Chains A and B, each alone.
Chain A
Amino acid sequence: MSLLLRDVKKSYREPGGGRLPVLNVKEYSLKAGEQAALLGQSGGGKTTLLNVISGIATPDSGDIVVDGVNLAKLPEPARDRFRAERIGIVFQTFHLLPAFSAFENVLLGMSFSGRANRGYARELLERVGLKERLNHKPGQLSVGEQQRVSVARALANHPKLMLADEPTASVDMANQNVILDLLRDTCREHGVSLLLVTHSPEVAGLFDRVDQLSDFNQPE
């Protein structure tokens, strides 16, 4: 099992003093190497779910087991380390660092896990078709190219689980399929489980497994 969520609850403090429940997941799982699309409406808790799974945010209660490790029980530094080493994230707006070249952005992802490998960083960028763009900064790359850099960066640390948050929402139709194919193919090649959240049924339709967030998340 690559991912298992059990009795996960997450709520946010409201300005009035009350709490707004966002997540209430009884159980959700993903097998090792499995790829799933999670379909949900905007504001449905998709990003919060990914933040909780990646250890960026902590749940109010419940277990989040990734690759056999219960993240909910780990202190923050250990979660950071775990995220750096075993989880890859692709963001909707790519989140590349503008001061760094494509190559350095990939290398940066490796640096925090202490496993910087320049050869592998170059190899990944070549794999996503950016062999000629290694030293270009994000501002010098097209939107599609930027997202490809972010895919390479997410794969840099040989993750066990890849989380993709609306990865095609910011790219044009021509690039959408390229990005999705790239994500799915590279995850398959590397044996990485992929959980992709989207609000688009078309995107979700490309996956063999499609889950409706509302089916297993009942925050009320």
Chain B
Amino acid sequence: MNLFSIAWKSLRQRWLASSLTSLSVSLGVALMVAILIVNGVVDQMFSQTGSGYSIIVGARGSRTQLIMSTIYRMDRPIENLPWRYFEEWKEHKWVERAVPMNLGDTTQEGGFPIVGTTPEYFLIPPIPDQPFRMKVEGDDKFNSTWDAVIGSQVARKNGWEIGSEFQMVHSGGEGHIHDEKFTVKGILAPTGTPNDRTVFVHIDGFFALDGHDKPVEEAIERELKFYPSESRADIEKRYAADLADIRAHAEEEASGGGHDHHHHHAVSDLQKEVTAVLVTLKNDDYGIRAQSLEAEINEGIQAQAARPTDVMGRLMINLVGNVKDAFLVLTGLIILVSGIGIFVSIYNSMADRKKEIAIMRALGARRQTVMLIILSESLLLCMLGAVIGLLLGHGLVFFGSPIIEQRAGLLIDPYSYNPWEFIVVPIMIAMSALIGILPGLTAYSTDVAEGLQS
């Protein structure tokens, strides 16, 4: 019989106290495992989502709001920029890709955010090396005005499939529902990013909707403000062809030319807007160009730029990081309290076990041996708690991940683990030594003759 089997027998003798104390440890460990895994996923989502973009350009305002609205779709978009500004970005010598994004509307069913964009959006993975995978039917995907691509969650929650049609709720405030219907042409595979709960509509369709083309006068006024060096004449000259078209169309409508209200004409660039521009840069492995562009734009008055990794890094440290730390401290406290529980359980049993220890000593067990038996008990309780806790924690993640994905949109691999969770093993060994040392010393110093009489 080795020390562990002797210790195990003693624990089994006190099975109720033993299992309860071990269970308390396992609950703490399970919670720690779950927090570490979920935190890893949150961390990846916040620190990596959007890291595929060099900079995001949007209207002036809060940098965090810009990132939260464009990448995470958790905040209201700030304002819109003229389409011409986006066109300038496309032509910029450092720019590899510039993708427009229009935000603000939601789906009628499920209230999912809608992004009006171009097919190029799906060519830039939001997380490097994790390209979009899209389920399509044939070659028919996101090329035409009324095409849409939906995230995996949207598909699941709304029960939409390829070919499903849907309507959008305008962001205007009164919940106006656009009459036009978009058709789902592609469904994204789960990405673990906010794209899973987003509906992407073709930007042409987005502009063709009522209220999405800015009235001509407002558009000219806004352009005058945006490009202060230009006069009204300059702007009218730039958009001369478009303006002529618009006026002709207006006259036709006024003369009752039999136009259906919902007939969609091509929207002029003057009337188009963009909420944000996702930009990737050429030859910018170290992000120096991104930083310098960001600084340049932010010094100007037209727009603001933000690097997603920079903004989210700060947010992670200041907010999410603190929440994680708070949770881990809480878990640490739970484990500590359960450790105290084990200590109390073992220590209290020592009075009853004085005789048992004395018998072992009388049979020839050395002081160190009985002390090691007590330490082994402590180690067994802690390790048993740790192992059950690890299994319980992973069970929690395994069975909880579909629920979390459904409710919070966090994509958690049910089999995922965080290497940090194995720190629980040395922690438990250290804790068991601390817990066992005092009862172990009590066993060590037990007077055999006295113990045999007790």
Listed in ascending order, the chain A residues whose CB lies under 8 Å from chain B are: 47-48, 51, 54, 56-57, 76-77, 80-81, 83-85, 89, 91, 95-100, 104, 107-109, 111-113, 116, 153, 157
Is B452 close to A, CB under 8 A? Answer: yes
* Chain A residues in 8 Å Cβ range of B233: none
Query: Bound state CA distance, A98 and B12, in angstroms?
Result: 11
Q: Are B9 and A99 in contact (CB under 8 A)?
A: yes
Q: Are B359 and A97 in contact (CB under 8 A)?
A: yes
* Chain B residues in 8 Å Cβ range of A76: 367
Please tell me which one of the listed residues A57, A77, A81, A111 contacts residue B449 in the complex, with CB atoms under 8 A apart. A57
Is B365 close to A, CB under 8 A? Answer: yes
Q: Are B367 and A112 in contact (CB under 8 A)?
A: no
Per-position 1/0 for B355-393, Cβ under 8 A of A = 110011111111111000000000000000000000000
Q: Are B362 and A116 in contact (CB under 8 A)?
A: no
Q: Are A91 and B360 in contact (CB under 8 A)?
A: no
* Chain A residues in 8 Å Cβ range of B9: 97, 99-100, 104
For chain B, what secondary structure do more than half of its interface residues adopt (helix, strand, loop), or is it mixed?
Answer: helix
User: Which residue from chain B places its CB closest to the CB of A101 in the assembled complex?
Assistant: B9
* Chain A residues in 8 Å Cβ range of B448: 51, 56-57
Query: Bound state CA distance, A80 and B364, in angstroms?
Result: 5
Please tell me which one of the listed residues A80, A85, A97, A109 contacts residue B361 in the complex, with CB atoms under 8 A apart. A80
User: Which residue from chain B places its CB closest to the CB of A48 in the assembled complex?
Assistant: B449
Q: Are A112 and B364 in contact (CB under 8 A)?
A: yes
Query: Bound state CA distance, A95 and B453, in angstroms?
Result: 10
* Chain A residues in 8 Å Cβ range of B367: 76-77, 80
Please tell me which one of the listed residues A98, A109, A157 contacts residue B13 in the complex, with CB atoms under 8 A apart. A98
Q: Are A113 and B13 in contact (CB under 8 A)?
A: no
Jot down 27 A-B pairs with beta carbons below 8 A, ordered by A: A47-B449, A51-B448, A51-B449, A56-B361, A56-B449, A56-B452, A57-B448, A77-B366, A77-B368, A80-B361, A80-B364, A80-B365, A80-B366, A80-B367, A81-B364, A84-B363, A89-B363, A91-B452, A95-B359, A97-B356, A99-B12, A107-B1, A111-B1, A111-B2, A112-B364, A112-B369, A153-B363
* Chain A residues in 8 Å Cβ range of B361: 56, 80
Question: Considering only CB atoms and an 8 Å cut-off, how many residues of chain B contact the other chain?
Answer: 23
The distance from the CB of A136 to the nearest CB of chain B, in whole angstroms, is 15
* Chain B residues in 8 Å Cβ range of A47: 449
* Interface-central residue, A47, A56, A57, by most chain B CB under 10 Å: A56
Is B240 close to A, CB under 8 A? Answer: no
Is B330 close to A, CB under 8 A? Answer: no
* Interface-central residue, B2, B9, B359, B362, by most chain A CB under 10 Å: B362
Q: Are B363 and A112 in contact (CB under 8 A)?
A: yes
The distance from the CB of B412 to the nearest CB of chain A, in whole angstroms, is 43
The distance from the CB of A59 to the nearest CB of chain B, in whole angstroms, is 13
User: Which residue from chain B places its CB closest to the CB of A51 in the assembled complex?
Assistant: B449
For chain A, what secondary structure do more than half of its interface residues adopt (helix, strand, loop), or is it mixed?
Answer: helix
User: Which residue from chain B places its CB closest to the CB of A93 in the assembled complex?
Assistant: B452
* Chain B residues in 8 Å Cβ range of A57: 448-449
5 A-B pairs with least C-beta separation: A84-B364, A99-B13, A112-B364, A111-B1, A99-B9
User: Which residue from chain B places its CB closest to the CB of A81 in the assembled complex?
Assistant: B364
* Chain B residues in 8 Å Cβ range of A95: 355, 359, 362, 452
* Chain A residues in 8 Å Cβ range of B363: 83-84, 89, 108-109, 112, 153
Is B6 close to A, CB under 8 A? Answer: yes
Query: Bound state CA distance, A97 and B356, in angstroms?
Result: 6
Q: Are B449 and A112 in contact (CB under 8 A)?
A: no
* Chain B residues in 8 Å Cβ range of A85: 364
Q: Are A108 and B366 in contact (CB under 8 A)?
A: no
Query: Bound state CA distance, A76 and B447, in angstroms?
Result: 12
* Chain A residues in 8 Å Cβ range of B364: 80-81, 83-85, 109, 112-113, 157
**Known contacts A77-B366, A116-B1, then 11 further A-B pairs from the complex at CB < 8 Å, ordered by chain A residue:** A48-B449, A76-B367, A83-B364, A84-B365, A91-B362, A99-B9, A100-B9, A107-B1, A109-B364, A111-B2, A111-B6
The distance from the CB of A61 to the nearest CB of chain B, in whole angstroms, is 18
The distance from the CB of A68 to the nearest CB of chain B, in whole angstroms, is 18
* Chain A residues in 8 Å Cβ range of B6: 108, 111
Query: Bound state CA distance, A78 and B1, in angstroms?
Result: 21
Q: Are B362 and A83 in contact (CB under 8 A)?
A: yes
Is B10 close to A, CB under 8 A? Answer: yes
The distance from the CB of A116 to the nearest CB of chain B, in whole angstroms, is 6
* Chain B residues in 8 Å Cβ range of A80: 361, 364-367
Query: Bound state CA distance, A111 and B10, in angstroms?
Result: 16
* Chain B residues in 8 Å Cβ range of A99: 9-10, 12-13
Q: Are A108 and B1 in contact (CB under 8 A)?
A: yes
Query: Bound state CA distance, A127 and B368, in angstroms?
Result: 33
Q: Are B365 and A112 in contact (CB under 8 A)?
A: yes
The distance from the CB of B190 to the nearest CB of chain A, in whole angstroms, is 52
* Chain B residues in 8 Å Cβ range of A111: 1-2, 6
* Chain B residues in 8 Å Cβ range of A100: 9
The distance from the CB of B451 to the nearest CB of chain A, in whole angstroms, is 10
Query: Bound state CA distance, A139 and B405, in angstroms?
Result: 54
The distance from the CB of A96 to the nearest CB of chain B, in whole angstroms, is 8
Q: Are A104 and B452 in contact (CB under 8 A)?
A: no
* Chain A residues in 8 Å Cβ range of B356: 97
Query: Bound state CA distance, A164 and B308, in angstroms?
Result: 83
The distance from the CB of B329 to the nearest CB of chain A, in whole angstroms, is 38
Interface of chain B residues 97 through 122 with chain A (CB within 8 A): none
Query: Bound state CA distance, A76 and B356, in angstroms?
Result: 19
* Chain B residues in 8 Å Cβ range of A108: 1, 6, 360, 363
* Chain A residues in 8 Å Cβ range of B10: 99
Query: Bound state CA distance, A57 and B360, in angstroms?
Result: 15
* Interface-central residue, B1, B9, B355, B448, by most chain A CB under 10 Å: B1
Q: Are A89 and B362 in contact (CB under 8 A)?
A: yes
* Chain A residues in 8 Å Cβ range of B452: 56, 91, 95
Query: Bound state CA distance, A107 and B360, in angstroms?
Result: 12
* Chain B residues in 8 Å Cβ range of A54: 362
